[in-house]
Amino acid sequence: MEQVISFVALAAGLIIGLGAIGACIGIGIMGSKYLESAARQPELMNELQTKMFLLAGLIDAAFIIGTGIALWFATANPFLGQLAAR
């Protein structure tokens, strides 16, 4: 039973860590492309900025949802009750 709990902790750490890495890389690439496109066409800067902030919020939302699910499994794992019943 303790081995299952350690696997849950490992899985939660992987979900949070890989989600954070993916979100950081995604926002970094998006920011660099925004600066590149704003330098090429400065007249579209306001429209591009709005879209960039919208996408940054969606990328962060996906990471936060993954973090919430990982913490839910770490604190109140619904699968442990099924294992204990066996």
> Cβ(16)–Cβ(70) under 8 Å?
yes
Torsion of CA 39, 54, 14, 86, to 10 degrees: -160
* 60 in active site: yes
* 27/29 Cα distance (integer angstroms): 6
> Alpha helices, DSSP H only, in the chain?
2-40, 45-75, 79-85
User: Of the residues 60, 61, 68, 72, which is catalytic?
Assistant: 60
Active site amino acids? 60
